[in-house]
Amino acid sequence: MSLPKDFLWGFATAAYQIEGASEKDGRGPSIWDTFCAIPGKIADGSSGAVACDSYNRAGEDIALLKELGASAYRFSISWSRIIPLGGRNDPVNQAGIDHYVKFVDDLTDAGITPFVTLFHWDLPDGLDKRYGGLLNREEFPLDFEHYARTVFKALPKVKHWITFNEPWCSAILGYNTGFFAPGHTSDRTKSAVGDSAREPWIAGHNMLVAHGRAVKAYREEFKPTNGGEIGITLNGDATYPWDPEDPEDVAACDRKIEFAISWFADPIYFGKYPDSMLAQLGDRLPTFTDEERALVQGSNDFYGMNHYTANYIKHKTDTPPEDDFLGNLETLFESKNGDCIGPETQSFWLRPNPQGFRDLLNWLSKRYGRPKIYVTENGTSIKGENDLPREQILQDDFRVEYFDSYAKAMADAYEKDGVDVRGYMAWSLLDNFEWAEGYETRFGVTFVDYANGQKRYPKKSARSLKPLFDSLIKKD
């Protein structure tokens, strides 16, 4: 047994992926409602309008969490349920607040610790239309701060807050590739608007400042009374050099992580963007004002880590194109000598590699001065899972093995390497709306029968986590 006795484990979800009830009780549209309505943007032409119907089944979800033995549950708030138009001078929707107040009350009554994410990609569409959403340096941080303050005030029982989930995805997939809402890209066959070379860096900068404003408000106005902690959740993959004998490939491994994680973490921990990004991007990276730097630097009580996979990294020698966001390198699943990073899954980008998880935990711990880390997402899809009969889907041994190997790699990082990891949230409690992949990809430990009223059936993996963590967490 190697994890600390107060270690929290459980499951994670996101509002747009599970809630449904998209027009109920005064909820306004988000950029994802708008994006899903554009033909061709979602693989199966679907949306999150119904999803897992969790808004109407909150009690059922809590009962499931309790049945599975979870000590924590990470979920996100739908901004447009709280403030349908989004802005600091727009009306607040009491029905939306009441829903989350009851949900938090019921979770805590069930002995489950809530981890609340304020922003999991679903910006109110009203703000995107009003002033360009994440691209507006003046308005967006102020509106986010107001929204955050509204939620902090409504939910004093919550002691673990996450401002942004994976701002990399909002910035790059939303404003470079156009793969995610709002779909901006320089590729005019995909979008009439967008500048892939500049917009993602602007969006990223504005999210950092918005994060800093929300953290300042929490620390000054709520933490003295309520206690608690607040941080940001960042995503990133582990890296191995394609050719370990090539110092350029070795250097490219760090650069890949810097362009994904340190883009946001370095300003928070060090007050500046990584040198590798400054060197490649130049003046396309916004410059922090003194006021912005003061807001951002030091604005993490913990580091939220989302992690799934690893890559071999091969450096490039040509001048990078303006829309490059990786750091002038290639990501591969096979090394120079033919080693494979891990088995295929349903997700083109995901191959299990638990050693990479341990390595990245160490990388983060060393770079950022051994911060407290919560693993806020970790999980896998299974190749062809959605095409199997339900009985076979429920026997998800591949996912059981993934969780087992990753949890043990994390425990080794804690016990043997001194990484201060305090919690783990499996992605995801439920099969759900998997963004641009629609309902074709399943990440849940619980099968959701979309065709028959969203009925839930726990898979083998759902019941595997309690005995796994019982075996890893110290008893005294």
Sign of CA dihedral 87, 92, 93, 98: positive
Q: Report the relative pairing of strands 229-235 and 160-165 from DSSP bridges.
A: parallel
CATH number, domain with residue 211: 3.20.20.80
Q: Report the pLDDT value the prediction gives residue 443, as an integer from 0 to 100.
A: 98
- Band (pLDDT 50/70/90 cuts) for residue 472 is very high
* pLDDT, the chain, mean: 98
Active-site residue, 377 included: yes
Q: How far apart are CA 443 and CA 377, in angstroms?
A: 11
Phi, psi for 352 (deg, rounded to 5): -60, 135
Query: Does a structural domain hold residue 3?
Result: no
Q: Report the pLDDT value the prediction gives residue 476, as an integer from 0 to 100.
A: 78
* Start-to-end Cα distance in the chain: 11
- In the set 258, 292, 377, 385, the catalytic residue is 377
- In the set 19, 166, 258, 437, the catalytic residue is 166
Residue 1: pLDDT over 80: no
Q: How far apart are CA 154 and CA 28, in angstroms?
A: 19
Note down the domain range covering 426.
Answer: 8-472
Residue 59's H or E segment, with its range, is helix 58-68
What is the tens place of the pLDDT at every residue in 309-330? 999 999 999 999 999 999 999 9
- Mean pLDDT throughout 158-187? 98
Q: Report the pLDDT value the prediction gives residue 119, as an integer from 0 to 100.
A: 99
Q: Which residues are CB-neighbours of 275 under 8 A, at least 6 positions away?
A: none
Question: Which residue type does 188 have?
Answer: R
Q: Report the pLDDT value the prediction gives residue 447, as an integer from 0 to 100.
A: 98
Number of domains in the chain: 1
Q: How far apart are CA 421 and CA 370, in angstroms?
A: 9
Residue 86: pLDDT over 80: yes
Query: Does a structural domain hold residue 1?
Result: no
**The tokens 């860096």 sit on which residue?**
201
Q: Where are the alpha helices (DSSP H) in 282-367?
A: 290-296, 354-367
Query: Does a structural domain hold residue 2?
Result: no
Active-site residue, 440 included: no
Residue 407: pLDDT over 80: yes
Sign of CA dihedral 380, 385, 389, 395: negative
- Band (pLDDT 50/70/90 cuts) for residue 378 is very high
Q: Report the pLDDT value the prediction gives residue 335, as an integer from 0 to 100.
A: 98
Q: Report the pLDDT value the prediction gives residue 238, as an integer from 0 to 100.
A: 98
Q: Which residues are CB-neighbours of 132 under 8 A, at least 6 positions away?
A: none
What is the tens place of the pLDDT at every residue in 234-244? 999 999 999 99
Phi, psi for 2 (deg, rounded to 5): -140, -15
